[in-house]
Amino acid sequence: MVILTLNCGSSSAKYQVYDWDAGDILAVGIVERVTLGKSFISHKAKGRDEYTLEQDCPTHTDAVNLIIKTLTGAEHGVISDMGVIKAVGHRVLHGGDKFTKSVIVDDAAMAAFNEVKDLGPLHNPANIMGIEAAKKVLPDVPHCAVMDTAWHQTMPPESFLYAVPYEWYEKYSVRRYGFHGTSFLYTAKRAAALLGKDPFRTNLVICHLGNGSSVNAVRDGCSFDTSMGITPLEGLIMGTRSGDADMAMPFYVMRKTGMSAAEMENALNKQSGLLGITGQYADRRDIQAAAEKGDRRSQLAQEMEAYRVKKYIGAYYAALGRVDALVLTAGVGEFSAFMRGKILSGLEHLGIVYDPEKNNLARTRNTESLISADDSKIPVYIIPTDEELVMTEDAYALMTGTYDVHTKFTYSFQSKDYVNKGRAEGLKGDLAKNPALASIIAKPR
């Protein structure tokens, strides 16, 4: 049985093909520049070199058709025909407060996604277009929606409400929703397995650090608080998003400049964050290179980003009272030893002590790493996230009628014996290049 997962952004369509019976990934890829012109697909099938093809995709339907053509093609394909695919899992950024778990996409679900579209204006329209496109091409298989917000529906009112007129919540659903939920679900379950603890007796602070970044306080295995808000704009400093700021600031600048509300929203989401501070860079690799050459604004951006993450770690430690582990994940969390070091330095008084040598070794997505010092009271794990696996398992369970909310459902990766075959194979190559990596591989307790 083969399951396809799709993650459609405003100008991209990311996919994975998973062989459920073999428990292995057949192919992954992405179509970029959808709707923008000069579109292209990057496709990587198991055991083969990456394949790239330029083909214009003016709509997401065109992108999905290109994906299907590639998956079934004689030269680069991994399945004989689309009849092999028995379910499709879709990422949906914003489900509002209407969903506490993944669902089969039906007319009611689509109506709900459209109803909360304004809460996720940068992502939800693309997610909806991706679902509609896939349903046209694959009309006879179940399509399943996995919401980033569903994981956070366990937050209590003191965490998710804003101190604004209460009728805004009642009439307009103004509240904290949080995002990166699929990533947090995976890393929370994996952290509990590594700790050898019941997931529902485990307290964690998880930092998902990428172009979009957020922190999650997990109490007894459930989301208790998170840094993103009604939209993904709130919280940490991100690639192009401002994160936390005085809510009066936009009105002040609008009065000074004559900017419209739409222009301000665009500035805070697409022209701020690291790009706004540096004036030219949103990618941490570019910022690191510029900082090493003495660019003061790039250095400032690094200091600000690390400081903001550190503040949230401390705040969530205080909110939880007990922290069993600190977890870092996503692109920056998994690969940037420099930023990890800046974030973790100075947390010794909280019992969080990292080992610089271990930290410098941890640069792989193929294993879970333990980078805390031997005398650290709280372990620091790097857990490469796997949102696609969550989507795949949810889709399979929904298709077979075995699925439920995560507090009543067990994932394969919750087992201490879980092995990702693709990553295990990749780890062999990593160890051949750097045998010292073996010293930081996290082992279940």
Please, what are the domains in the chain? 2-147 (3.30.420.40), 197-383 (3.30.420.40)
Q: How do residues 377-390 score in pLDDT, each as one tens digit?
A: 999 999 999 999 99
Report which DSSP code applies to 437.
G
Average pLDDT over residues 54-68: 89
What pLDDT, on the 0 to 100 scale, is given for residue 61? 84
**pLDDT class for 83, splitting at 50, 70, 90?**
confident
| Greater pLDDT, 428 or 82 | 428
Q: Does residue 116 carry a pLDDT above 80?
A: yes
**pLDDT class for 137, splitting at 50, 70, 90?**
confident
**What separation in angstroms does the CA of 259 have from each of 87, 114, 246, 384?**
46, 28, 17, 41
Of 11-15, 118-122, 209-213, minimum mean pLDDT range: 118-122
Residue 263 to residue 256: CA distance in whole angstroms? 13
What pLDDT, on the 0 to 100 scale, is given for residue 295? 97
Q: Which residues contact 417 (CB under 8 A, 6 or more apart)?
A: none
Residue 200 to residue 124: CA distance in whole angstroms? 31
CA 334 to chain centre: 12
Q: Does residue 9 carry a pLDDT above 80?
A: no
Q: Does residue 119 carry a pLDDT above 90?
A: no
Average pLDDT over residues 84-110: 90
Q: Does residue 361 carry a pLDDT above 90?
A: yes
Neighbouring C-beta atoms of residue 280, cutoff 10 Å: 12
Of 109-113, 133-137, 231-235, 407-411, minimum mean pLDDT range: 133-137
pLDDT above 90 coverage of the chain, percent: 78
**What separation in angstroms does the CA of 224 have from each of 58, 78, 122, 178, 353?**
41, 41, 25, 11, 24
What pLDDT, on the 0 to 100 scale, is given for residue 392? 95
Sign of CA dihedral 164, 169, 171, 173: positive
What pLDDT, on the 0 to 100 scale, is given for residue 15? 93
Q: Which two tokens stand for residue 274?
A: 């690291």
Residue 47 to residue 52: CA distance in whole angstroms? 16
What pLDDT, on the 0 to 100 scale, is given for residue 279? 96
Sign of CA dihedral 77, 59, 87, 103: positive
**pLDDT class for 302, splitting at 50, 70, 90?**
very high
Q: Does residue 181 carry a pLDDT above 90?
A: yes
What pLDDT, on the 0 to 100 scale, is given for residue 309? 98
What pLDDT, on the 0 to 100 scale, is given for residue 32? 87
The conformational region for residue 85 under phi > 0 = left, psi -120 to 50 = alpha, else beta, is beta
**pLDDT class for 47, splitting at 50, 70, 90?**
confident
Neighbouring C-beta atoms of residue 318, cutoff 10 Å: 11
For 138-280, where are the alpha helices, taking DSSP H only?
157-160, 166-172, 181-195, 249-257, 261-270, 273-278
| Greater pLDDT, 138 or 415 | 415
Q: Does residue 241 carry a pLDDT above 90?
A: yes
pLDDT, averaged across the chain: 93
Q: Which two tokens stand for residue 30?
A: 């992405």
Annotated catalytic sites, by residue? 148
pTM, two decimal places? 0.94
Burial of 234 (0-12, 13-18, 19+ CB in 10 A): buried
